[in-house]
């Protein structure tokens, strides 16, 4: 399941946001970063806001050898 962490600049005093979901996609259009899924747009962030977006997938642990 894709997960994206949105981190805002410290001077904006906004909380960081973790967005996750099935079929979640990130794309960029006309100065906006847009997260959408099968139901439509989930979140749109203007590029001038200075937020950074990081994909943070959960990795499955490696199988243990016996």
Q: Are the C-beta atoms of 50 and 56 separated by less than 8 Å?
A: no
Contact, 32 vs 52, CB < 8 A?
no
| pLDDT level of residue 66 (50, 70, 90 thresholds) | low
Averaged confidence pLDDT in the chain: 85
Binning pLDDT at 50, 70 and 90, where does residue 60 land?
low
What are the tens digits of pLDDT across the range 33-45? 999 998 999 989 8
> Taken in order 18, 24, 25, 30, is the CA torsion positive or negative?
negative
Q: Is the pLDDT of residue 65 over 80?
A: no
Angle (CA) 18-30-7 rounded to 5° is 20
């Amino acid at each position: 399941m894709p997960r994206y962490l949105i981190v805002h600049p410290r001077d904006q005093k906004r909380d960081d946001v973790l967005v996750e979901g099935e079929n979640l996609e990130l794309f960029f259009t006309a100065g906006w970063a847009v997260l959408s899924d099968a139901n439509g747009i989930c979140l749109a962030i203007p590029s001038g806001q200075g937020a950074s977006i990081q994909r943070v997938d959960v990795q499955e642990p490696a199988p243990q050898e016996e």
